[in-house]
Chains A and B, each alone.
Chain A
Amino acid sequence: MVPNYSIDDLEGWDERIREKVEEFGLDPYPQEFEICDHNDMLGYMTYSGMPSHYPHWSYGKSFEKTKTMYDHGVSGLPYEMVINSNPSLGYLMRDNTLCLQILTIAHVYGHNDFFKNNFNFTAVTRADSTLSMFKAHAQRVRSYVEDPSIGPDAVERILDAAHSLSMQLRRNRAVKRLSEAEEKQRLWEDAQPQPDPYRRIHRTPDYEAPDLRKTPASPEEDVLAFIRDYNPYLTEWERDLLTIVHEEACYFLPQIETKIMNEGWASYWHREIMNSLDLPQELHLEFLVRHNQVVRPHPGSLNPYHLGLRVWDEIEGREAPSPPEEREDAGPPPAGDRSAMFAVREVDRDVSFLRRFLNEKVMTDLDLFEYEKQDDKLVVSKVSNEDHWREIKATLLRGVGMGSTPIIRITDADFGDQRTLYLVHEHEGRDLELGYAEKTLMHLHELWGRETALETYVNEKRTILKYDDDGFKAEAAS
């Protein structure tokens, strides 16, 4: 197919879009676009948009899967792909029509602005060095693969294990991390008796000395970083691989945590920009069709573009004070204009965004429902109405962003003085999938080298899953 545009056309439209971007007060990084074909796009999708990336078979699997779906028409390829870097790097599909390219460029500026301003990104990722970081990682991994004393199999063994644990990391990376000494200082201070002017009427609580010898001092969510720092038997290259996988997981964390907000924000702005561009009629008509394809509801699943856009619209359109019972849930409503939107785009993530602004009205409009498994069917258990919307919202909030990854913390690296790595799953009603837990513990054991134990609940019984040299065991906790 011959595209119905030239690079000059795109540059012209880009200029007009930028005027609007500036007029609306968006604040993006410099932007670069690369025109690519579907093969390149498949490659970029596989490697998260990175021009260079370290090798691992899982990317081959991901490529085959995406390509099969694409070849069989199960799913199309995205119109665009954009990565969080400075300058921001976006990919445009060559075969798209001019209208789609304009829409996509506008959409990309929305993402770009979000990357530059949302605290999840600004507090954690260093956009200036994104590309060089991935490139350096790729070079290091390749150097280990090519090192005859290490080789591909050994590298793969560590990467397999590290990948399985990469999402077990500290979620709010904007909170400053204390050093081990500071942590212990804080523990000690917390344990000291507080000055109590009413000592005569209170019974003085017994002083309990904090256990300052314990490692980690307080429960630790960063599993890979902890193992890297506290397993003395790892070699340098093994440590480095853990660092690489951990750093990349941290880079992707903000995107996981803000998927709905970010897609909604980009969709909101491409719509505003396109509507203000005075498009020729045939482009405008095509735009309406394409826009609706992107933000239409997907009955039976959740379309983050649709949900996000709808909530942003709600924030913008909110003028009258909301009813009191809603305020209780959502906090005081912000002013009904774009300045409120800009404030929200800086300080929220999907969980807080939805908690604050997803109200009964939006939920009923979207016809959000909760379903659960009954035998081999998925059955609707609740629909959004007066009685149930809060429960459905709670379920939704549990599942967005990192909500779908169980919270597991290392509590003791020397459990029972046996150097057993002891972890606790913070169980809040959802059991772990045991088959997966077994295999993940196997990987954990591989990296730790000694017994690993995970405390969780299985069918409401406290259970300890163990993995040692003899394999997997599950036993009821005493």
Chain B
Amino acid sequence: MATGAIFRPFRHSEAERSDRSAGDRLRHRQKIRESIRDNIADIIAEESIIGQRKDRVVKVPIRGIKEYRFVYGENESAVAEGDGDVQEGQVVGQADGEGQGDGDKAGDKAGQDIYETDVTLEELIEIMFEDLELPDLERRALKQIPAERTTKRKGYRQVGIRVRLDKRRTARQRVKRVLATRGRMDDPDLPTNTEGTGRYPFHTDDLTYRHVIPDLRNESNAVVICIMDTSGSMDTMKKYLARSYFFLLFNFIATKYLSVELVFVAHHTEAREVTEDEFFHKAESGGTFISSGYQKALDIIDERYHPSLWNIYAFHCSDGDNFDSDNSAAMRCAKQLADVSNLFGYGEIKPLGSRYYESSMLSLFRRLDADNFQTVVIEKKEDIWPAFRSFLSKDRAGLITEKAPEEAAEV
């Protein structure tokens, strides 16, 4: 006890010490991302993310990055301090650990390791679509609508913002100036070298900035045509499934093109173009002519979205309950639609079990001979993501044969 303690004063953290956890944090973030990707089907099945604003923060439950150990389960009771007046039977908290606050007993209970992370919807969409690819992207790369998001360089200026500073030119300017003044270097009045140290600092006049102007570049554009059966048999659940599917489709295509237009076609026995709101919320009654929806889509394409100028993605959701008399017309229109589209899909929405006794368009559409045509079946929320993946997967051929071997036989 002869000497006192050593006190080491605070030093502003050296880079190494202050950011010692950077590598471990990065790896942790990567694992969260992987975990989100692994659980994407469940996340998609959560209603809350559909139709939300993109900057909305979504709480995503994370699995797979818990640290597992042998721990006790539920039949464990525990001891805590009271406020001096605790009675038997009193409720002291929620079993999932909420409202327990004061930390010290956390960590040894399995249930308390629930881990959620915040991501924005946009981030989530980005992660979701990471390994998907749009088949036949920008096939019609003709120029149509100017997209203003790009800029173009136009010469140099002496004023500008920091990020546009051209360091190389600035340095060159300085060298030029130094060379130009060299003849007068011994001049004691020369302001640029007041200390006689031989140093020539940068001068404001040296600074050179790149000048940029907004550029109107023509981009290839896409249109997503959402066609939905709004006949009486399409109930709320079916519409919800359809809506989730359209949500994914639009968002995915929007990540690939600078500008994407959306067209909504609602049909029962006849079709109309509607607004997004009407599309999802208006119920109608009566029977179904699928051909009417397709014909309307073809008309719209004819009027506004010429296939030579637009990348067209059309998708139709129905429960497959079509009038038999319309089948041949539907088939003909579908073929035409497939011809003009980059990708055309038909999703049959069959709440679980019903596919065995309700009529279906699937067998009919299987006979449609087009590379860019896909059918999917959606029975429940959890099917949306696999169905979507199979529609847009890089390895489409593999998935088709795997899903429907009888299809191959019919070709």
Taking beta carbons and an 8 Å cutoff, which residues of A are in contact with B?
7, 10-11, 14-15, 18, 21-22, 30-37, 39-40, 42-43, 46-47, 55-61, 63-64, 75, 87, 94, 105, 156, 163-165, 167-168, 297-304, 306-307, 366-373, 375-383, 392, 395-396, 399, 404-406, 408, 425, 429-437, 439-440, 442-443
Contact = CB atoms under 8 A, between A and B. Distances in A.
Contacts of B18: 39-40, 43
Contacts of B96: 376
Contacts of B17: 40, 43
5 contacts: A168-B70, A300-B80, A372-B77, A383-B86, A399-B79
A57 B24 contact: yes
Interface string B80-118: 111111111111111110001111110010100000000
B79 A392 contact: yes
B31 interface: yes
A433 B109 CA distance: 9
A410 B389 CA distance: 46
B149 to A, nearest CB: 34
B81 A368 contact: yes
A369 B82 contact: yes
Interface centre among B8, B23, B25, B77 (most CB of A within 10 A): B77
Given A378-B95, A383-B87, A301 B80 contact: yes
B83 A367 contact: yes
Contact of B10 (A37, A156, A298, A396): A37
Contact of A33 (B5, B75, B91): B5
Contacts of A443: 68
Interface centre among B1, B8, B70 (most CB of A within 10 A): B70
B73 interface: yes
B9 interface: yes
B110 A436 contact: yes
Nearest to A59: B24
Interface centre among A61, A382, A395 (most CB of B within 10 A): A61
A94 B10 contact: yes
B296 to A, nearest CB: 51
Contact of B7 (A7, A30, A87, A437): A7
B358 interface: no
B78 interface: yes
Contacts of B31: 57
Given A57-B24, A380-B88, 8 more contacts: A37-B10, A369-B82, A373-B74, A395-B78, A404-B72, A406-B72, A433-B73, A434-B73
Contacts of B83: 297, 299, 367
B77 A303 contact: no
B405 to A, nearest CB: 27
Contact of B4 (A15, A376, A433): A15
A366 B85 CA distance: 10
B101 A430 contact: no
A335 to B, nearest CB: 26
Given A47-B20, A64-B25, A299-B83, A380 B89 contact: yes
B69 interface: yes
Contacts of B70: 167-168, 405-406, 408, 425, 432, 436-437, 440
A63 B25 contact: yes
B67 A430 contact: no
A430 B21 contact: no
Nearest to B79: A396
Contacts of A59: 21, 24
Nearest to A37: B10
Interface string B296-323: 0000000000000000000000000000
B71 interface: yes
Interface string B52-80: 00000000000001111111111111111
Given A14-B4, A405-B70, A36 B82 contact: no
A167 B70 CA distance: 9
A37 B13 contact: yes
Contact of A35 (B9, B73, B80, B81): B9
B67 to A, nearest CB: 6
A232 to B, nearest CB: 25
Interface centre among A105, A380, A425 (most CB of B within 10 A): A380
Contact of B65 (A61, A377, A380, A399): A61
B17 to A, nearest CB: 7
